[in-house]
Amino acid sequence: MDFKQSLAQRIVIVFALMSTVVAGIFAIGIVAAVHVVERRLTDASMGGNLNRLLKVDNAQDWVHRPEKDELFFADNGPRDLALTDELRALPIGFQDAVFNQDPYFAMVGEVDGRKYVLLRDRQSVEHREQLLIAVVVGGFALSVVLAMVLGRLLARRVMAPVILLARQIRQRDETIALASPLSTDYAADEVGELAVAFDQTLGKLRAALGREQQFTADVSHELRTPLQGLQHACTSLLDNPDIDPRAQRQVVRIARASAEMHQLIETFLLLARASDPAAGSGQQATLHQVADDLVEIWGRQINEKGLEFSYECEVDSPTLFNHTCLYSVMGNLLRNAWHYTDQGFVRLTLQPNGFMVEDSGIGIPEEKRNAMFQPFVRGDERRGEGLGLGLSLVQRICNSQGWHVTLTSREPHGCRFSVEWGAVHLPALVKG
């Protein structure tokens, strides 16, 4: 049985199978019982007729057939009643026999060394049995059909509350705190208990959602303010002409880290708050605009590390994307390439349906590529104090926006991350 079918279909199938087994057992039992009873009655009847014929005083009276469809033969009897070699070979007792290529029941007796055979036409009995089998098979088929019809009606009646509950659950918005409970619409049965359990779970979900929304609001307020102050302080320091070059470089690093923290906060808030991030509002930007901003930041750092950075734009599409999401995805991939590449190059390529980040770094073993998009998973050569959330964040944002991110290897070493728009919503695919 295919358990992927609906519960109503499974009820009908089980009901029909049960009826089929029960009706089949009864049908086989009826046919077998009638067959056994028919043979026993024939045995008794033919035994009595044979004894009656053997008690006849004059053998000439044997010519008269006492029963219709019966034939009597005797050893050394009159010519038309004489035993043939075929009949003489029959054993004593009741049995099936063939005489002149026709089927008969045979009752064979022996008195004083002489054998006597009484034959009865078997065709009428077989005809009755065939008629009985046809009636039984017809009744069996009719019972199965009726079982399926009754099963469907019963399934509809039994499943009606379950179907109603499933429809209400699908239509229920867990964010509506004033929605009436579902359990009031159902009796105190198993379905009612399921509705109560759903109401309780939904209540816990609403409470957790409220706490999360309150937490994100507090984080937004508490972290944005000090970060803005830190950024303003960095700007003021950089405007000071008396600052020495070494201190200026440190302030630039602080300002860059503050900007990245601000961007991460915006990304986490977007993922935590939006019930449908793909439809979320916010600042919009084209792929080219986001890439230009990130190239200005990461291109300089990649070059300062002694790597070759190339930026290729195959198309300049006017399509707008959520700036926070696209900025975080592309920035994390560029950061990952800069972090794990010691020599060679890093390349950013804008394509008609997405973008691609390539590097000539240490690469990722094939057996570990699937795990790289999981939270807190880092490469073998762990550098810095990161928690391994970069690629996991990339995967979450891509899933929320309906994008598709893939990780492939480069020859002889290095990685290639590709992000495509409008791809089917799938988990990260890994290709060798």
**Of 45-49, 58-62, 427-431, which range is least confident?**
427-431
81-87: list long-range contacts, CB under 8 Å, 24+ apart: 83/115, 83/117, 87/117
Taking all residues of the chain, what is their mean pLDDT, rounded to a whole number?
77
Look at residue 428 and tell me whether its pLDDT is greater than 50. Answer: no
Whose structure tokens read 């006849």?
Answer: 56
Q: What is the pLDDT of residue 387?
A: 37
**Of 164-173, 282-291, 303-312, 395-404, which range is least confident?**
164-173
Q: What is the pLDDT of residue 388?
A: 47
> pLDDT over 90 for what percent of the chain?
6
Q: What is the pLDDT of residue 386?
A: 40
Sheet holding 415-420, edge to edge: 308-313, 345-351, 354-359, 415-420, 404-409, 429-430
Cβ pair 398, 417 in contact under 8 A: no
Beta bridge partners of residue 93, listed in sequence order: 108
**Of 56-70, 88-102, 244-258, 332-346, which range is least confident?**
56-70
**Cα distances (Å, whole numbers) of residue 272 to 214, 221, 395:** 11, 15, 15
Sheet holding 102-111, edge to edge: 70-74, 114-121, 102-111, 93-99
Average pLDDT over residues 297-326: 86
Q: Which amino acid would we find at residue 71?
A: L
Q: How many CB atoms lie within 10 A of CB 268?
A: 19
Q: Which two tokens stand for residue 385?
A: 């104090």
Q: Using pLDDT thresholds of 50, 70 and 90, give the confidence band for residue 121.
A: confident
Q: What is the pLDDT of residue 18?
A: 86
Q: Where are the domains of the chain?
A: 7-142, 279-430
Q: Using pLDDT thresholds of 50, 70 and 90, give the confidence band for residue 423.
A: very low
Q: Using pLDDT thresholds of 50, 70 and 90, give the confidence band for residue 58.
A: low
Q: Which two tokens stand for residue 235?
A: 């700007």
Q: What is the pLDDT of residue 258?
A: 79
Q: How many CB atoms lie within 10 A of CB 324?
A: 24
The most confident of the ranges 53-62, 224-233, 410-419 is 410-419
Distance CA 118, CA 108 (A): 6
Closest CA to 372 of 351, 388, 353: 388
Task: List phi, psi (to 5°) of 130.
Answer: -65, -40
- Per-residue burial over 354-391, b if 16 or more Cβ lie within 10 Å, else e, is bbbbbbbbbbbeeeebeebbeeeebbeeeeeeeeebbb
The most confident of the ranges 4-8, 9-13, 335-339, 354-358 is 354-358
Cβ pair 355, 348 in contact under 8 A: yes
Q: Using pLDDT thresholds of 50, 70 and 90, give the confidence band for residue 346.
A: very high
For residue 412, give every residue at least 6 positions away whose Cβ sits within 8 Å of its Cβ, in sequence order, or none.
Answer: none
Average pLDDT over residues 153-158: 77
Whose structure tokens read 């592309």?
Answer: 330
Domain 279-430 = CATH 3.30.565.10: yes
**Of 92-106, 147-161, 214-228, which range is least confident?**
214-228
For CA atoms 153, 155, 161, 163, the dihedral sign is: negative
Q: Which two tokens stand for residue 387?
A: 């928690």
Q: What is the pLDDT of residue 371?
A: 60
Cβ pair 364, 413 in contact under 8 A: no
Cβ pair 398, 404 in contact under 8 A: yes
Q: What is the pLDDT of residue 12?
A: 80
Distance CA 382, CA 388 (A): 9
Look at residue 406 and tell me whether its pLDDT is greater than 80. Answer: yes
CA torsion 353-354-359-361 (nearest 10°) is -120
Whose structure tokens read 């009636």?
Answer: 135
Look at residue 376 and tell me whether its pLDDT is greater than 80. Answer: no
Q: Which two tokens stand for residue 116?
A: 């006597």
**Which position has the higher pLDDT, 10 or 405?**
405
How does pLDDT run across 186-209, given as a tens digit for each residue?
666 666 777 777 777 777 777 777
Q: Where are the beta strands (DSSP E) in 236-327?
A: 284-286, 308-313, 320-322
Q: What is the pLDDT of residue 355?
A: 93
Q: What is the pLDDT of residue 157?
A: 75
Whose structure tokens read 């379905």?
Answer: 191
Look at residue 242 and tell me whether its pLDDT is greater than 70. Answer: yes
**Which position has the higher pLDDT, 363 or 285?**
285
